[in-house]
Amino acid sequence: MNRQRQDLIARAGPRGHEQKTRRARRIAAGALTLTLAGGTVGIATVASAGADGFEDAAQEWIESEFVESTLTPEEQLAEMAWFTEAAEPYRGMEINVVSETITTHEYESQVLTQAFEEITGITVNHDLIGEGDVIERLQTQIASGENIYDAYVNDSDLIGTHWRNGDVLPLSDYIEGDGAAITNPNLDLDDFIGLSFTTAPDGKVYQLPDQQFANLYWFRYDWFTDPEIMAQFEEIYGYELGVPVNWAAYEDIANFFTNEVNGDGTIDGVDVYGHMDYGKRDPSLGWRFTDAWLSMAGNGDPGIPNGLPVDDWGIRVEDCRPVGSSVTRGGDTNGPASVYALEKYVEWLNAYAPPEGAGMTFSEAGPVPAQGAIAQQVFWYTAFTADMTAPGLPVVNDDGTPKWRMAPSPHGAYWEEGHKLGYQDAGSWTFLNNTPADRRDAAWLYAQFVTSKTVSLQKSIVGLTFIRDSDINSEYFTENADRYGGLIEFYRSPARVQWTPTGTNVPDYPALAQLWWENIAPAATGEVTAQEAMDNLAEAQDEVLGRLERAGVGGDCAPQLNEEQDAEVWLEQPGAPVPELDDERGEPETVPYDELIQTWEADASASTEPADSSAPAGTAASTEPADTSG
């Protein structure tokens, strides 16, 4: 086993004797049939391709690497035999795919490509680059017609772009047509928790989820449950220290830890901070806002997975056509809720975060909470979970359990029931129409392999970026949930549907996304007010929508800007945009974390038991919303 592979799987949690014991139980209980889309299929029907050592390779990988799986070993062997047989026409090919650089994709690039080649005979060069570079290469391939990559792991944030522009292969059509013979009968699309994110209003699936992670509230559980610290907080603020339900409580807690805990904002003699954020003029500052910050404040309309008719980017859609971002066109990008969201970001960054945060980018700020001086973070990506559980960190106990927890994000004053409450990244396999058919087909096999039930549980253990409901509810994560600080409980709860990616209201993600950091950065540095920044952003977005309208990009769902009217016309109508509130603080509210977790577990049991009893054997009832029109 090479060093890179050792380093990656070292993050996977308990192994050794525990895994052998679990494997013995699985073998003893394992049925020799697979439950597939069309019923049950015996192993003999798919295990006919063992020539040239491929079957031996599959056996070795299952026994040495893919020990944890929701399939029995027999079912794993059958699934791998299907891949061996389906790959026969493409054996000897060398294909190129690309993704951003996170732990999950490192595991794919360094470990799963090797497994795939040994089991299928297809060589995969899985490149790892920056997220922005992935989008740039994809756009270049579309514009030039040159096949740069055979497949892209591209955020589902671009679903509105892909659906309108016609450059991306609709997987629903491909699976039923040209790709039918090379689509894994055990793919089980209903088991993918983020399929609604990659499904367009036309009902077609355009991308296959490969990894998902949410942005949640992160806090130091050990500090929040320290009796002395709790008593200090309650004496000052008059209510219990706990998980903040709203921004008023978050703000109080931020001030308490930064300035007041132990009388001087220190714990064990070390300065601590009640907030962490970043503010450097950089493209990553745009993600800080487009990743649902405005919806957490309460902008746009309620709706899952995204608000309708106004989404969390503030873009209004009428009959699938984007009609404006500005309040004067019925949008909410510069409405009171959006301005409030930016004001709070700037205020908290300057008042409660470490001074160096204002000069940091996303990647620079990410590791800071693990250093031990941050009490809470309102906007923390669960993709950092694996790195945050490394032994020896100041935020990890001696027994390997975390001193921290994650919980639902608090919401702003404009938020109401039915709004999304946060962002969920869904990096998804995306295939362009201009990729040669044989290379596309081979890449499709690889995409299915790295998301297959044989592989996906082990990949989830390494990267903690779940895509399958069956993995989330596996025995492994039941037994090891306490190692992950609430992540498993979150993903098992029905609450997860309130965390969603950018939706289909956004017609050209690359063109519009770059406007955010360019216009927000001047507010972060104090060069302009929050209102001026959002006015400029709304105007810039409307200019892009106008260009798309004139070019007819998007066909029948291309933008068609509303005529401008006085802002009061829209503010007086029901729904977004809403008028400015007289009280943008409200009453602070907290909830004890352990009580919250019990509620999640009860809700999860109530929501899954009826679905499980009626679902066909071997399938997982989807808990994601069916409405994808937002």
| Alpha-carbon distances of 288 from 377, 378, 515, 518, rounded to whole Å | 13, 11, 13, 13
- Which residue from 95, 100, 208 is spatially nearest to 156, judged by alpha carbons? 208
Q: Please report, rounded to a whole number, the percentage of residues in the chain having pLDDT higher than 90.
A: 81
- C-alpha 258 chain-centroid distance: 30
Model confidence at 615: pLDDT above 60: no
Mean pLDDT, to the nearest integer, of 213-240? Answer: 97
pLDDT digits 0-9 by tens, 58-70: 999 999 999 999 9
pLDDT band at 51 (very low <50, low <70, confident <90, very high): low
Token readout for 124 is 């995969």
Q: Which CATH number fits domain 3-187+435-469: 2.30.30.30, 3.30.70.1350, 3.40.190.10, 3.40.50.300?
A: 3.40.190.10
Domain coordinates in residue numbering, the chain: 3-187+435-469, 207-423+499-591
Would you state the pLDDT for residue 387? 83
3-state percent breakdown (helix, strand, coil) of the chain, nearest 5: 50, 15, 35
> Which of 195, 201, 265 minimizes the C-alpha distance to 233?
265
Give the other-Cβ count within 10 Å of 580's Cβ.
Answer: 13
Where is mean pLDDT largest: 41-45, 363-367, 542-546? 542-546
Residue 98 and residue 134 in contact, taking contact as beta carbons nearer than 8 Å: yes
Contact 384, 461 (CB under 8 A): no
| pLDDT per residue as tens digits for the range 198-221 | 999 999 999 999 999 999 999 999
Of 25-34, 199-208, 339-348, 368-377, the poorest mean pLDDT is in 25-34
For residue 493, the SS3 value is coil
What CA–CA distance (Å, rounded) separates 104 from 8?
A: 9
Place of tokens 């209004």: 316
Task: Indicate whether 539 pLDDT > 80.
Answer: yes
User: Strand 33-36 to strand 39-42: parallel, antiparallel, or no bridges (unpaired)?
Assistant: antiparallel
E runs forming strands in 470-600: 590-591
Cβ partners under 8 Å of residue 216, min gap 6: 380, 382, 406, 407, 408, 409, 422, 490, 499
Instruction: Give percent above pLDDT 70 in the chain.
Output: 87
Range with the largest mean pLDDT of 282-291, 342-351, 601-610: 342-351
Q: Can you tell me the mean pLDDT for 282-310? A: 94
Tally of CB atoms within 10 A around 255: 19
Q: What is the pLDDT of residue 132?
A: 86
- Cα–Cα distance between 315 and 292 in angstroms, integer? 13
Calculate mean pLDDT across residues 157-165: 95
Tens of pLDDT, residue by residue over 396-415, are 999 999 999 999 999 999 99
Spell out the alpha helix ranges (H) of 205-335: 221-224, 227-237, 247-255, 283-290, 293-297
**pLDDT at residue 588, as a whole number:** 98
How far is it, in rounded angstroms, from Cα 553 to Cα 557? 8
The per-residue DSSP string of 377-398 comes to: EEEEEGGGHHHHT-TT-TTB-T
CA 36/CA 234 separation, integer angstroms: 56
Q: Give the end-to-end CA distance of the chain in Å, rounded to a whole number.
A: 46
Distance CA 328, CA 330 (A): 6
What value does the mean pLDDT take over residues 269-275? 98
300-309 mean pLDDT: 94
For residue 80, what is the enclosing H or E element?
helix 73-86
pTM for the predicted model, two decimal places = 0.87
Q: Which amino acid, one-letter code, is at 54?
A: F
Radius of gyration of the chain (CA): 25
Give CA angle at 170 (168, 173), nearest 5°.
145
At residue 604, the pLDDT reads 60
Question: Residue 438 contacts by C-beta under 8 Å, 6 or more apart in sequence?
Answer: 89, 90, 93
244 preceded by cis ω (within 30°)? no
- Please give the sequence-ordered ranges of beta strands (E in DSSP) within 404-545, or none if there are none: 404-407, 424-430
CA separation for the pair 553, 168 (Å, rounded): 14
Contact 339, 534 (CB under 8 A): yes
Is 215 in contact with 409 (CB distance < 8 Å)?
yes
User: Is residue 534 a contact partner of residue 331, using CB atoms and an 8 Å limit?
Assistant: no
Residue 125 has pLDDT above 50, yes or no: yes
Strand partners, 499: 422
Separation of CA 627 from chain center: 18
CATH of domain 207-423+499-591: 3.40.190.10
Q: Do domains 3-187+435-469 and 207-423+499-591 have the same CATH topology?
A: yes
* pLDDT(626) > 80: no
Q: What is the pLDDT of residue 605?
A: 62
Mean per-residue pLDDT of the chain: 89
Characterize the bridge pairing of strands 94-100 and 123-129: parallel
